[in-house]
Amino acid sequence: MNIMCPNPVPVVTHSATIAPRIADAAPIRNAVALMGRKGLKDPALESMRQTIDRQSMLLTRLLDELLDVNRIARGQFAIEHEPVDVRDVLTRAIETSRPLIDSRRHSLEVSVPDQPARVLGDALRLTQTFVNLLNNAAKYTPEGGCIRLSASVRGAEIEVRVKDNGAGIEHDMLEKVFDIFVQLNPAARNALGGLGVGLALVRRVVELHGGNVEARSEGKMRGAEFVVRLPLSIEQIQIISDQEHQAPGSIRTLRVLIVDDNRDAADSMNLLLTSMGQEVCVAYDGPCAISAAKTFKPDVVLLDIGMPQMSGYEVARALLDDGSAAKSGLVAVTGWGQEADKERAKEAGFAYHFVKPISEEALRFILTEVSAASPRGIASGTAK
pLDDT for 287-324, tens place per residue? 999 999 998 899 999 999 989 889 999 999 999 988 88
| Bridge partners, residue 212, by sequence | 229
This prediction's pTM: 0.52
Cβ neighbour number for residue 17 with a 10 Å cutoff: 7
The ranges of the chain with pLDDT < 70 are 1-26, 29, 54-77, 181-196, 241-251, 373-384
Q: Is 309 left (phi over 0), alpha (psi -120 to 50) or beta?
A: left
User: Whole-angstrom Cα distance, residue 107 to residue 138?
Assistant: 10
pLDDT at 39: 76
pLDDT at 214: 94
The CATH number of domain 82-232 is 3.30.565.10:
yes
CATH (one of 3.20.20.190, 3.40.190.10, 3.40.50.2300, 3.40.50.1950) for 246-373: 3.40.50.2300
User: Whole-angstrom Cα distance, residue 18 to residue 31?
Assistant: 22
pLDDT at 372: 73
Tens-digit pLDDT profile for residues 315-355: 999 999 888 888 778 999 987 777 788 888 888 889 898 88
Domains 82-232 and 246-373 agree in fold:
no
pLDDT at 293: 92
Domain boundaries, the chain: 19-73, 82-232, 246-373
What residue type is 272 in one-letter code? L
User: Whole-angstrom Cα distance, residue 122 to residue 205?
Assistant: 9
Phi, psi angle pair for 271, to nearest 5°: -60, -40
CB 84 within 8 Å of CB 124: no
pLDDT at 14: 37
